Structure 1
Amino acid sequence: MITLVKYNDEKDIICELIKQFWIAHNDYTPTDEESIEDMLAWSGKGHVLYFIKKEETIIGFVHLASRGCEIDWIEDLFILPQYQGNGYGSEALKLVEDIVKEYSDSVYLEVAARNARALDLYYKNGYDCLNTVTIRKDFKPEEYVVTSEEEVLGHKLVVKEYKN
């Protein structure tokens, strides 16, 4: 069982988690200054950060943000890699939903199309209403590989990853 504990100025801990988040998601190690900038933005007005704790151990975080009209977005949900695959992401989603249900009829999130594991997690937990579609134009297409093709409202779109 996990709990959510509101961030309350534990800068060193959250900055290290933010670094781990970027390493896991983009294979990029941010500087200390970049982690501090994210921490300040993610804990500022209209944002709430929660540590995800398993007993007394911090295993990740959730970043909620209000975009107005009593609508919250799960901006980031991160479970440290060594704790993934144990249902903690699903538990964290349910706890966040319980918080947001108090003042909103829904909660939104975005997921990178290439992040199949996260998409599976969200879909399994009832996130099945397509709301907005983010598309991009690549100026260096040779740096990407197409991993799948999808159709949305009659338009063929592709999912790409860096070639690395």
Structure 2
Amino acid sequence: MNIIIKELSNDLFFATAKMLTELMNYHRKLTNAPKEYWQTNEESEKTLREWINEGSIYNIFSDETPVGFFYVRLGGQNVAWLEDMFILEDYRGNGFGKFAMKKLDELMIEKKVVAMFVDVIPRNTSAIKLYKECGFDHLNLIQLRKNYDEKLNKDENIDILGFDFKKY
């Protein structure tokens, strides 16, 4: 198996948008969001166009087959944000994520980035595990959420720094 990372090309735009839909709906499934909040391919195409203007998208390949992507955005003070990373379900657990993170690290060092940030929803424990294994070991920011649609409320609680929150 040969894992390759390449910057998004025009011929992979729609395949990547479809993977973006899978990523967004994977998050919605993790949080038990009602189907009315699930993302469509058309919404993902629009989002991907915005991402192209704001950062860089890289496809992850197994030989010639695109199996995932990551989106990184550079910011001021030589920092970067790993905005999203996705591996198709059939390819998860085979080292694609770790390989992509290694290549991303090389890119960031090449660009003289001094720190990278990533946001993860608390229910995405597999992503948290991957990021922790890849060196993300500083808690930087805690994002709080207030739901106005009661269907989005959760029952499971989590203690963060002595505060009780619903685990999203």
* TM-score of the pair, normalised by structure 2: 0.84
| CA distance in structure 2 between the partners assigned to 1:111 and 1:31 by the alignment | 22
RMSD of Structure 2 on Structure 1 (CA) = 1.9
Q: Describe the SS at the equivalent of 2:84.
A: strand
Structure having the higher helix fraction is: 2
| CA distance in structure 2 between the partners assigned to 1:108 and 1:123 by the alignment | 12
Is 106-115 or 12-21 further displaced after alignment? 12-21
Report the counterpart of residue 118 of structure 2 in structure 1: 109
| CA distance in structure 2 between the partners assigned to 1:90 and 1:17 by the alignment | 18
Percent of pairs with identical residues? 27
Question: Displacement, 1:135?
Answer: 0.7
Judging changes above 3 Å, is the alpha-carbon distance between structure 1 residues 39 and 143 closer, same or farther for their aligned structure 2 residues? closer
Judging changes above 3 Å, is the alpha-carbon distance between structure 1 residues 158 and 76 closer, same or farther for their aligned structure 2 residues? same
Number of aligned residue pairs: 158
Structure having the higher strand fraction is: 1
Q: Pick 1 or 2: higher relative contact order, CA cutoff 8 A, min separation 6.
A: 2
Alignment of 1:141-156 (within 5 A): 141=150, 143-152=152-161, 154-156=162-164
- Unpaired stretches in structure 2, ≥5 consecutive residues: 30-36
Report the counterpart of residue 18 of structure 2 in structure 1: 16
Judging changes above 3 Å, is the alpha-carbon distance between structure 1 residues 7 and 143 closer, same or farther for their aligned structure 2 residues? closer
Write the deviation string for residues 45-102 of structure 1: whole angstroms up to 9, x where unpaired. Answer: x300000011111100000012322211110000001101112111111110110112
Question: Displacement, 1:141?
Answer: 4.7
Q: Describe the SS at the equivalent of 2:78.
A: coil
- Unpaired stretches in structure 1, ≥5 consecutive residues: none
Q: Kindly indicate whether the alpha-carbon contact (under 8 Å) linking 2:98 and 2:130 is maintained by their aligned counterparts in 1.
A: yes
Judging changes above 3 Å, is the alpha-carbon distance between structure 1 residues 142 and 23 closer, same or farther for their aligned structure 2 residues? closer
| CA distance in structure 2 between the partners assigned to 1:58 and 1:115 by the alignment | 23
